[in-house]
């Protein structure tokens, strides 16, 4: 698992990512200049996204309340990892 932190003047992004069976899964929280924090889960697979992959490329971005059941446990694990890694610095929902 890996933590991603991007902070700019009017946009902040905190995320955790993991690759499972050739699919990269990213749980993230982002905050724009209006101050609203959004949660998303993104999935990526295929040669455009995963080094060494020969499968077709595929990506999908889910609002947190619309993630498929198959990814719900992974979302919880990535969220807990992000809380552990960033602590009080993590964007609050």
- Check residue 50 and give its pLDDT: 81
Model confidence over 32-90: pLDDT tens digits?
989 999 999 999 999 888 878 888 898 999 999 999 999 999 999 999 999 999 999 99
pTM: 0.88
Among 38, 81, 32, 26, which Cα is nearest to 63's?
38
Question: Per residue in 70-92, is it b (16+ CB within 10 Å) or e — as a string?
Answer: ebeebbeebbebbeeeeeeebbe
């Amino acid at each position: 698992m890996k933590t991603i932190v991007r902070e700019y003047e009017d946009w902040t992004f905190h995320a955790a990512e993991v690759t499972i069976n050739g699919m990269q899964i990213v749980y993230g929280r982002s905050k724009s200049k209006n101050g609203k924090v959004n949660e998303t889960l993104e999935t990526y697979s295929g040669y455009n996204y995963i080094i060494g992959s020969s499968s077709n490329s595929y990506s999908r971005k889910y609002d947190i309340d619309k993630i498929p059941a198959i990814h719900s446990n992974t979302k919880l694990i990535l969220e807990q990892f992000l809380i552990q890694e960033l602590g009080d610095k993590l964007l609050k929902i």
